Amino acid sequence: MSAHSHVDGQLPHEPEKATLEGRNKVLGFWLFLGAETVLFGTLFSAFLALRHQVGDGNPSGQELFELSTTAWATFILLTSSLTSVFAIQSMHTNKVKSMIVWLIITILLGLGFLGLEIVEFANYVDEGHKFSTSAFSTSFYTLVGFHGAHVLFGILWIGILIAQIFKKGLNVTTAPKIYVAGIYWHFIDVVWVFIFTVVYLMGKVG
Amino acid sequence: MSSQHSSVEEQAKHHKHEGPKKHIIGFIMSILLTIIAFSMVAAGEINTTFIYIFLVLMACVQVFIQMGFWMHMKDRGHLYPIIGILMGVFVVFTIVIMAEYWAWW
């Protein structure tokens, strides 16, 4: 599979770019992220257009949002981005064990973020902020929920990749997958930066 | 085994692998920007338009830092990824402007 075999099973540095297939995978993934950007952009624009359409007697974002919850979620996701970049660095220096450890920490932080979001949504539903309550609530759940679904997908994806690494080891075929999953995880974090800014902070301001 | 190890290290030196330092700096900068944005809102009683612009600016700066440091965009050979993502950003920009300033006029 590899373009050139490596003595003693040594990997090239930047194993994700060692083969044409790997390089194409990375480039293709960036184009996918461009499309993802558009997808989230449409959800953001819908939210921006509808965020004041609360209706009579329904809770507004200003009443619902708690900055401390959002701050914790942000901190957790930022840290998970850092741990995933550590995983990629471990991969570049061919330290498979530490790469797996960092990936597992990333997954755990992602689960923590999801847990916070689920509790937050459950609280909102208790306060009468359901999916079909108002145009604001629908666009809110669609945007933030879509991001949460991306986090969940990332967790499953990285989990499966770890299993594959255990089975097949780190080589020029599996390395691009890890690298691309890392980029995906950062992208989730980047989207969250705009969510906490546009949805929560601006919602709190009014 | 030891000779293999040293050759790996030598190559690593030759390739100039980045240490974790830059990523930790990027992390701290992101945390600082986040804290500034949150505390601005928590403080309250600031002009709404100003705080909107300020918050979006903070987010954009943070995204540039994260994409540069963590998504390796400042590394060489990232012209096509940059073009790809910029096309996405361009479309998003027009969509958001449309929604904010057009839909309710």
State whether B27 and A78 contact (CB < 8 Å).
yes
Nearest to B50, CA basis, from A35, A146, A202: A202
Q: Dihedral through CA A78, CA B88, CA A172, CA A168, nearest 10?
A: 60
Nearest to A187, CA basis, from A199, A176, A195: A195
Pull the structure tokens for residue A101.
């450890």
ipTM: 0.82
Chain B: residue nearest A62 by CA?
B41
Number of domains in chain A: 1
Question: From first to last of its 105 residues, what are the pLDDT tens digits of chain B?
Answer: 444 444 444 444 445 556 778 888 889 999 999 999 998 888 876 778 888 888 888 898 988 888 887 777 767 677 888 888 888 888 888 888 887 777 766
Range of the domain at A147: 15-43+61-205
Average pLDDT over residues A141-152: 97
* Domain-embedded: residue A54: no
* Domain-embedded: residue A84: yes
pLDDT at residue A156 greater than cutoff 60: yes
Return the pLDDT at B2: 43
Find which of A39, A44, A45, A191 to mutate to test the B interface (most B CBs within 10 Å of its CB): A45
State whether A74 and B58 contact (CB < 8 Å).
no
Tell me the chain B residues in contact with residue A193 when contact means C-beta distances shorter than 8 Å.
59, 62-63, 66
Where do the structural domains in chain B lie, given as residue ranges? 2-74, 76-105
The label of the residue with tokens 């819908």 reads A46
Angle between helix axes A67-92 and B21-43 (nearest 10 degrees) is 170
